[in-house]
Amino acid sequence: MESIRAEKVVKAFGETRALNGVTLEIRPGELFFLLGASGCGKSTLLRCIAGLESPTSGAIYFGDRDVTAMAPHKREAAMVFQSYALWPHLTVAKNISFGLEERKVPKDETKRRVEEALAMVKLEGFGERSIDAMSGGQQQRVALARALVVRPKCLLLDEPLSNLDAQLRIEMRREIRRIVKEFGLTAIYVTHDQEEALAMADRMAILSRGVIEQLGTPEEVYRDPRTSYVAGFIGETNLCDGVIEKDANGYAVRFGQVRLAARITNPDWQPGDGQNGKVSMRPEALRIDPAGQIAAKVVEKVYLGQSIQYWVETAFGRLQVVEQNPHRIYGPGDALMLAIDVADVVLLEK
């Protein structure tokens, strides 16, 4: 187990800066997610850590080793590629044993470890197959086995599940997490799928335009987003403009007649009374409650069985509301009142 550290990493491609001073530390044995929309720099950061790209400035450390200038193959960081990059001219077993041959591992041990690796990804008996004879999910497992068989200190995964169908993706999530934890690997996982990150990550960093917007556990990032970008990117949310009010009891937000108690999540931001701000309210945090303060009119409903989604019109804009286990169904045109707890009204910088 090893920690991975990036310090002020900058990567410029000509004029554009894919990474603009990224600093982060990944703890030993952690499954860490790099998350962001395409073009945010997450893959570039991973490739810098793997050594496939060298940073324009800044440094990368594995434990105490400065690996910034080290050749990729000496870093002991095995990578799983988005396209799997399985060699079509080699069999499944040959693909897996490749790294062992490079490390001059004796023949019988190689054979044993390849068998083990196949068993670990539940592909016993597939060793002599050709790559083309494997389905997408199986290829994904082979790619994973190929990276793990060399017993790397850390594992780098570049959108490993993006080529699989939804069902398989959910199955492989648990599989990958199980394997990473079983091996005690420090792993970095790049994805644009926020659900994947919430479901699997120990901690995650959300990148945007080459900088880290927020870093934290899934709960922290979901519950306490610090920017409206993060609030909108992780999960569904209602972002509304309002006026901030500050008094001895704390913060509140006013939308015309409606005033809601609110909280701030970013300790570095101390807005003043009367300042304009944004508010994030999760759809599932809004309750249908006759005692609520927000008057709303249903515009559209989507019934999903276990839950129901409403789009409602309020004095300050259109909101999405999700009710779990709905007993009474409202239809378009129905008027209702909404309530929300102070903990769920998050004030954000505009």
Partner 1 sequence: MRKEYAWTIMVTVVILFAVFFVYPAFTIVGEAFGKKGGGFTFAYITAVFRDPVYLEGLWNAFALGIVSTAATLLIAFPLALFSHRYDFVGKKWLSVLVLVPLILPPFVGAVGVKEMLGVDGALNAFLIDLGWMEAARPYDWLANGRFTGIVLMNALHLYPILYMNIAAALSNLDPAMEQAAQNLGCPPWRRFWKITFPLTLPGVFAGSSIVFIWAFTELGVPLVFDYARVAPVQVYDGIKDLGGNPLPYAIVAIMLVISAVVFAVSKLVLGRSPLGTAPRPKGRSNDVVLRGVKSWLVCGVFVAVFLFASVPHLGVIFLSVSNDWYQTILPSELTMRHYDEALGNSLVVPSIQNSLFYASMATLIDLLLGIAIAWVVVRSKIRGRAVLDSLVMLPLAVPGLVMAFGYLALSQPGKPFAFLIGADGNPALLLIVAYAFRRLPYVVRSAVAGLQQSNPVLEEAARSMGATPVRTLRKIALPLIGANLAAGAILAFAFAMLEVSDSLILAQQSEHYPITKAIYTLLSTLGNGVQLAAALGVWAMVFLSVAIIGAAVIGGKRGGLFKV
According to the binding rule CB under 8 A, does residue 130 interact with partner 1? Answer: yes
Taking the least distance from each CB to partner 1, the nearer of 53 and 245 is: 53
* Least distance (Å) between residue 71 CB and partner 1: 8
Distance CA 281, CA 284 (A): 8
According to the binding rule CB under 8 A, does residue 43 interact with partner 1? Answer: yes
How many residues form the binding site for partner 1 (CB under 8 A)?
A: 31
* Least distance (Å) between residue 85 CB and partner 1: 4
Contact 204, 196 (CB under 8 A): no
Taking the least distance from each CB to partner 1, the nearer of 154 and 286 is: 154
Candidates 72, 105, 129, 170: give the one binding partner 1 (CB under 8 A).
Answer: 72
Distances (CA, A) of 112 to 131, 245, 253: 20, 67, 64
Q: Convert residues 150-179 into a mask of x (bound to partner 1 by CB under 8 A) and - (unbound).
A: x-----------------------------
Question: For residue 50, which phi and psi values (nearest 5 degrees)?
Answer: -75, -20
Candidates 3, 20, 23, 82: give the one binding partner 1 (CB under 8 A).
Answer: 82
Taking the least distance from each CB to partner 1, the nearer of 52 and 342 is: 52
Q: How many CB atoms lie within 10 A of CB 295?
A: 15
Burial 82-94 (b: 16+ CB within 10 A, else e): bebebeeeebbbb
Which residues, including other chains, have CB under 8 Å from residue 170's CB and lie 6 or more apart? Answer: none
Angle at the Cα of 184 (from 180 to 190), degrees rounded to 5? 40
Q: Convert residues 49-68 into a mask of x (bound to partner 1 by CB under 8 A) and - (unbound).
A: -xxxx---------------
Candidates 88, 106, 125, 272: give the one binding partner 1 (CB under 8 A).
Answer: 88
Contact 50, 72 (CB under 8 A): yes
Q: Convert residues 319-348 into a mask of x (bound to partner 1 by CB under 8 A) and - (unbound).
A: ------------------------------
Distances (CA, A) of 175 to 2, 26, 112, 161, 199: 22, 21, 22, 11, 12
Q: Which residues bind partner 1 (CB under 8 A)?
A: 43, 47, 50-53, 72-74, 77-79, 81-89, 98-99, 102-103, 130-132, 146-147, 150
